[in-house]
C-alpha cells in the first residue's frame, strides 16, 4: 500500500513539473492593465479527482469499521 502512495505522489509531481518551472519575467514598462498569468484553472481537475479518491477512501474505511463492530 505504501508503494502505491509513493507511485501516485511521483506521478502527480512529474505531471506538474511544467507548471513549477521558472518563467521568463515580463518586460518592464509594459502596459499596466495586462492580467497576471498564472496556473489558476490548470490543476483544478487534479484536485477534484484527488478529493473524490480521498472521499471514497474515507467512506470505504468507515464502512469496513462499522461492519467489523
* pLDDT tens sequence for the chain (69 residues): 677 888 888 887 777 666 666 667 666 776 666 666 666 677 788 889 999 999 999 999 888 877 776
Whole-angstrom distance, CA of residue 48 vs CA of residue 31: 36
- Residue-level pLDDT at 50: 94
Residue with cell 478529493: 51
0.85 cut: is pTM over it?
no
- How confident is the model at residue 11, as a pLDDT? 80
Distances (CA, A) of 28 to 25, 32, 33: 9, 10, 13
pLDDT confidence of residue 55: 93
pLDDT score, position 48:
92
Task: Give the contacts of 42 (CB within 8 A, at least 6 positions apart).
Answer: 19
Taking the C-alpha atoms of residue 66 and residue 69, their distance in angstroms, rounded to an integer, is 5
Residue 56: count of CB within 10 angstroms of its CB: 10
Amino acid at each position: 500500500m505504501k508503494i502505491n502512495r509513493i507511485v501516485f505522489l511521483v506521478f502527480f509531481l512529474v505531471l506538474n513539473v511544467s507548471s513549477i518551472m521558472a518563467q521568463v519575467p515580463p518586460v518592464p514598462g509594459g502596459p499596466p492593465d495586462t492580467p497576471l498569468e498564472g496556473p489558476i484553472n490548470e490543476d483544478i481537475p487534479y484536485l477534484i479527482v484527488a478529493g473524490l479518491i480521498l472521499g471514497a477512501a474515507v467512506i470505504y474505511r468507515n464502512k469496513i469499521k462499522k461492519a467489523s463492530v
